[in-house]
Amino acid sequence: MNPALGALLLGATCIALSPIFVRLSETGPTATAFWRVALAVPVLWILYAVKAKGSSSTPYSGKWPLLFAAGFAFAGDLGFWHASIQHTSVANSTLLANLASIFVTLAAWIFLRQKPTGVFLAGLAAALVGVAMLVRTSLGYSPTGILGDALGVVTAIFYAGYILAVKGLRDRGETTLHLMAVTSTITAILLLPVALATEGGLLPGSLYGWGILLGLALISHAAGQGLIAYALAHLPAAFSSVGLMLQPVVAAAFAWVLLSEPLVPLQIAGGVVVLIGIYLARRGST
């Protein structure tokens, strides 16, 4: 198997485990989001230092506004997504968060006057139909299911901002490891006071709880994001975007097996329609 393809699939699987870790965490959603990045930060900086040692690259300048924007957007992404996972099904939360690519193109349409293609508009329409089907299933999932779905859409908006900031940084020559280390640090700094103010308790109550947080930080964040960043640098963008659509599918499968979270027929149909919409939207954006 192509190493980049293997990295893409493994990275998507690692990230698909993140909602499972969040659901099993002994801390609140924002505190869990804080530990997700805080525990990964030392590892990321060590890896960056090792890789940068002996490198002839010169320090960059003028990128701090974009780096802060990426960290702020990622903090919003994690905070709202973790809250969404607590209120709705893992399948719904993960699928709705993957609407980010649609919001990226909508932002380009609104702010950059880049007219969308007919294929994108067809994908947008399909995604909206699928979202309506997912929301309908939330009515029977829990009293807070609709709130969780709404938070999933907000997550997608923040993730779209993160994607746009990262694209700007990569276009300016920012390296993957340094980007992850800096933005993770900024994200942790932003999430800490929010967690303390809204949830009070920051520490898990057992070694099991620490194990869950370490798994989230090292497997889902550091390994998952790192593998995908590597894969995206070696695979065609269109192929990579399709491969990453495995993430919500794998997450739903993990939730079914590990959390006994059932998938009803309408939810499965809605998920398929959303994925078709995301695929068409991405095809229409390239």
pLDDT at 39 over 70: yes
pLDDT digits (tens, 9 = 90+) for 78-88: 999 999 999 99
pTM listed for this prediction: 0.87
Of 62-66, 108-112, 237-241, minimum mean pLDDT range: 237-241
d(CA 274, CA 110): 22
* pLDDT-derived band at 60, boundaries 50, 70, 90: low
Average pLDDT over residues 170-179: 83
* pLDDT-derived band at 102, boundaries 50, 70, 90: confident
pLDDT digits (tens, 9 = 90+) for 129-165: 888 888 888 777 777 888 999 999 999 999 889 888 8
Average pLDDT over residues 49-57: 70
What integer pLDDT is reported at residue 114 of this predicted model? 73
